[in-house]
Amino acid sequence: MSSSYQVIARKWRPQTFDDVVGQEHVVRTLKNAIQKNRIAHAYLFVGPRGTGKTSMARIFAKALNCSGGPRVDFPLDDPAAVAIAEGSHLDVIEIDGASNNSVEQVRDLRETARYAPAQGKFKIFIIDEVHMLSASAFNALLKTLEEPPAHVKFVFATTDVQKVIPTILSRCQRFDLKPIPQELIAERLRRIAESEKIKASDGALACIARLADGGLRDAQSILDQMISFCGTEISEADVLDVYGLVAEGKVAELAAAVAAGDDRKLIALVDEFDENGRDLVRLLTDLQALVRSALLDAIAKGGKSDRLGSALTTEQLTRLLDALREGEGGVKLGLAEKINFEVTLLKAVEASRSRSIDTLIKELAALADEAPAGDEKKKT
């Protein structure tokens, strides 16, 4: 096997602003900042894993340090852009916050920042997982971050912004990268599969996108694994079997049984999923997403939806979704996963059938208001 093989997640990593998927709000702001020469000295990219934080930081660094930059339309074969992509550019320093989190290492960074750039226009420090820095390291960084030399730019990335101290946050322009919609992930996977000469069905790509939970890198890694498993043809059934996923049609069937209160059907479906080795934790997540979509439909339609096969009110769907959410811990961490899953579903059925005290009080009050009017009519 050739040693030059690259996994899909690295090979298809975004290289320009136009390659970035699902983060148009961030791309537009950064492009405008470069074009209008309003480039801040510190940026913070926040978001779940695999949504493009580090890739965006590298692309931004290319735009700032490319030949004739800053410019948003830099060519991919520009020597500076190539060096940054390969990690060999002298003025773009990438630091892993998890393993370089001591105050001494931050002091070394401050010392390095004092010197002028060797190759490009700016000296750019990209610190990944910045929330892992120690409190003393954060404090050592504050002064440089507040009044950096004109040639220094900081780009931070984090998956846990709550752990970044407020004094750092207040000195950065913050960008929140959102989970990437499934349809956009599936479309990008389709392009990758066509380029790699892989035949993947639409159902297979949709399953992979669903598994990725909004992270394109995770989706690319799953596609890579499926290619290793299947070869050049990937079907929906292959993805379902490898990852224990339940087909969307079966999830809808289970949701319909819960909505209709059909306990026998519900138990039979759970038995079928368990015998086929399906992931019940993942199934619970998919079921919650389906119920949520029905809840949003009920809100849009004025209080009732039949998207699950039975007409349920907003209150019933809210109670159903809340019961499914409350059962998460037992299904994930309990010793008897199947039993806990069944109990969660049965409790959800009961919750959707119950009515709140507030609703009953309102209905009784409405009846009480109507009663005098009825008595007066009888008297006349």
Q: Give the separation between CA 187 and CA 90, rounded to whole angstroms.
A: 36
The per-residue pLDDT for 360 is 62
Print the domain residue range for 300. Answer: 248-357
Q: Which residues of 102-134 are buried (b: 16+ CB within 10 A; e: fewer)?
A: ebebbeebeeebeeebeebbbbbbbbbbbbbbe
- DSSP letters, 30-62, are HHHHHHTT---SEEEEE-STTSSHHHHHHHHHH
The helix/strand count (H/E) of the chain reads as 18, 9
CATH, residue 97: 3.40.50.300
Q: Are residues 144 and 163 in the same domain?
A: yes
**95: β partners:** 127
Q: What stretches of the chain adopt beta strand conformation (E)? A: 42-46, 92-96, 123-128, 152-158, 173-176, 199-200, 233-234, 304-305, 312-313
In a domain, 119, yes or no: yes
Where is the domain boundary, 176, 204, 230? 176
In a domain, 376, yes or no: no
The per-residue pLDDT for 101 is 67
CATH, residue 207: 1.10.8.60
Where is the domain boundary, 176, 195, 211? 176
Q: Are residues 86 and 212 in the same domain?
A: no
The per-residue pLDDT for 202 is 92
Q: Are residues 253 and 315 in the same domain?
A: yes
Q: Are residues 219 and 195 in the same domain?
A: yes
Cα distance between the two ends of the chain: 98
**123: β partners:** 152
Burial class (CB in 10 A: 0-12, 13-18, 19+), 277: exposed
Q: Does residue 277 come out as left (phi exceeding 0), alpha (psi in the -120 to 50 range) or beta? A: left
Q: Give the separation between CA 242 and CA 8, rounded to whole angstroms.
A: 19
Q: Are residues 51 and 105 in the same domain?
A: yes
Q: Which of 172, 108, 127, 111 is nearest to 146 (CA)?
A: 172
**42: β partners:** 154
The per-residue pLDDT for 112 is 84
The mean pLDDT values, 10 residues at a time, for the chain of 380 residues are: 73 91 92 92 92 92 89 90 89 84 79 84 90 84 83 92 89 92 93 93 92 91 92 90 89 93 92 91 92 93 89 91 90 87 92 70 72 53
Number of domains in the chain: 3
Q: Are residues 227 and 269 in the same domain?
A: no
The per-residue pLDDT for 379 is 47
Q: Which residues of 38-62 are buried (b: 16+ CB within 10 A; e: fewer)?
A: ebebbbbbbbeebbbbbbbbbbbbb
Q: Are residues 20 and 158 in the same domain?
A: yes
Q: Are residues 256 and 140 in the same domain?
A: no
In a domain, 330, yes or no: yes
pTM above 0.95, yes or no: no
Q: What stretches of 220-329 adopt beta strand conformation (E)? A: 233-234, 304-305, 312-313
Residue 68 DSSP class: T
φ, ψ for residue 46, nearest 5 deg = -120, 135
215-269 tens-digit pLDDT: 999 999 999 999 999 988 999 999 998 988 888 889 999 999 999 999 999 999 9
In a domain, 38, yes or no: yes
Chain center to CA of 171: 26
In a domain, 344, yes or no: yes
